Copies of this chain bind each other. A is one copy, B any other.
Amino acid sequence: MLKYALLGLLQYGASTGYELKQFMDTSTANFWHAKLSQIYVTLKALEQEGLVTSDVQEQEKRPDRRVYSLTAQGTQEFDQWLQTSSAELPQLKEPFLLKLFFCARLDKQSLLAQLKLQRELHQKLLHGYQTQTRAIIANVLQNAPEMERDALFWGFTLRSGELAEEATLRWLDETMETIQKEL
């Protein structure tokens, strides 16, 4: 899937491994992320597959950059991915739920402390969505009003994060309340 993330981001103007990483960190990071080392490896593989090509650009006062661009085949494969609907949901792994599943063994105070910490983390994440992420999208729109349609979709992914975090916060509150009452 990183493959498709890179092919997609290349169309939005990022063109080196380093730039792709930065772009990702300020756009898809909340639902798709990657380390630089992995990005470099994947770009190389993409080039071998013939989906991108690269050229080395020398720079003054900066290290050389390897600039990637999509090939026709790369564009085609990306578009095909966009159109293909997957018939199953990914299987999640949620470490906190795994732990909670076994928490009958744990004392009330440790439990409440861990739930409270989770609440703080999720609250902070939600707040970040409501301010930083919104600001990034608004900023792009101001500098490039022709991106309106793109920004609509970025807004959908943002909204997904907000609703998910709100639901998590409600769940944490409900769970803490039950524990207060029942244990």
CB of A141, distance to nearest CB on chain B (Å): 13
Q: Does A90 contact B (CB under 8 A)?
A: yes
CA distance A96 to B153 in the complex (A): 12
Given A152-B182, A159-B174, A164-B168, 8 more contacts at CB 8 Å? Answer: A4-B98, A28-B97, A81-B99, A82-B110, A85-B117, A90-B94, A90-B95, A104-B152
For A93, list chain B residues within 8 Å (CB). Answer: 1, 31-33, 90
CA distance A8 to B102 in the complex (A): 7
- Judge whether A122 and B89 touch: CB under 8 Å: yes
Interface size class of A (residues with CB under 8 A): 35 or more
Q: Which residue of B lies closest to A82 (CB)?
A: B106
- Judge whether B95 and A86 touch: CB under 8 Å: yes
- Judge whether A105 and B90 touch: CB under 8 Å: no
For A100, list chain B residues within 8 Å (CB). Answer: 153, 156-157
- Judge whether B153 and A160 touch: CB under 8 Å: no
Q: Which residue of B lies closest to A99 (CB)?
A: B82
Restricting to A1-37, which residues have a CB under 8 Å from any CB of B?
Answer: 1, 4-5, 8, 11, 27-33
Closest 9 CB pairs of A and B: A167-B167, A31-B97, A31-B94, A8-B102, A104-B150, A85-B114, A32-B98, A104-B149, A163-B167
